[in-house]
Amino acid sequence: MRDLDRHLRAMVDEGATRIRVDLSGLALCTAAGIAVFAGARVRINSLGGTLDLAGMHGIVDRVFTITRFPVSDSLSPPVVALAGPTTGVGGRGRGGRWRRVTV
């Protein structure tokens, strides 16, 4: 989770205000993961931006439903897809363009 938190913070620090996180590859999300997403959402919302979580299935979908965490029904429109936690943060994120993070 630390890598994800670092990447989300870096995107916000670079000026991203609209981030969509693709959770379709995530098999489990603990309280630590929810805390990372909640913290990122607070930071982005304080800048007038949006953090969308999408693509959940199975137990991950259930966890976010139980916690009433706001989620998106769509994975589009993606602009940048990060392959995983070791990839760099690049691409566009300013001016209303979406960034997509694949977890």
Question: What is the per-residue pLDDT for 83?
Answer: 35
* Beta carbons within 8 Å of 42's beta carbon, 6+ residues apart: none
pLDDT(82) > 60: no
List 51's β-bridge partners, or say none. 19
- Count the neighbouring beta carbons within 10 Å of the beta carbon of residue 90: 11
- Distance between CA atoms of 57 and 80, rounded to whole angstroms? 22
Superfamily of structural domain 2-102: STAS domain (3.30.750.24)
Task: For residue range 27-65, list pLDDT tens digits in order.
Answer: 888 889 899 999 999 999 999 988 888 888 899 889 888
What are the boundaries of each domain within the chain? Answer: 2-102
For the chain, give the longest Cα–Cα distance: 35
Whole-prediction pTM: 0.71
